[in-house]
Copies of this chain bind each other. A is one copy, B any other.
């Protein structure tokens, strides 16, 4: 499984991912699921990946190839279509979705294989002069943007970590608070689903900077993650133990 999420607040973006992959419970590995592309004179793009690892790796490889091609165009040569030539984030999401469908169709249709080659992505970033945005790209190639009322998107094992996002995240949440919330959300998910696990990648992108403001990589014992996790766990137990008593408990006192 996987858990990745992206948050779009007024001041920028937060992107976060776990790194566990598994092909059955007896074949567990650690792979990055966050990939960034800084395109000179164009913008900044970050991809979060879930689903079939062969397909997601093929997609990332092809994005790099297309980008290289379109940035090194010879005189009179046409671009193949890539992040370098998208006019807005919407077009970038469409490029990504189309690419993913084409790549999985090679195995599904050309080679006529029956496995599940699907993958789902979150694409976040900013094109110069455009707002920064996040999109969820489905295995069918189509895509959605986040709701303005709940400005986050999740892929993979989304439920365990959603309640804290529902409570905390608003458009005017600070980037740092959004990043802490993403880490709490990853931590809650990891505790309830073994197929989500650190290291966690966490990135903060400030609007209009066209490069990440902070890139963190947290292992289980990284000092900040450990101390946040300890405080959150202890604080939850304190809060729980301090909840109002039932009527009969008061009378017993």
Contacts and interface: CB of A to CB of B under 8 A. Distances in A.
Given A159-B160, A160-B159, A176 B246 contact: yes
The main secondary structure of chain A at its interface with chain B is: helix
A160 to B, nearest CB: 6
Given A167-B240, A232-B243, A239-B239, 11 more contacts: A163-B163, A167-B233, A168-B237, A168-B240, A176-B246, A177-B240, A227-B244, A231-B242, A231-B243, A235-B242, A236-B239
Contacts of A147: none
A191 B176 contact: no
Contacts of A192: 159, 162-163, 166
Contacts of A167: 191, 233, 236-237, 240
Interface string A208-252: 000000100000000010011001110111011111111111000
Nearest to A252: B176
Interface residues of A, number: 38
Interface of A: 159-160, 162-164, 166-168, 176-177, 179-181, 184, 188, 191-192, 214, 224, 227-228, 231-233, 235-237, 239-249
B179 A246 contact: yes
B240 A224 contact: no
B224 A232 contact: no
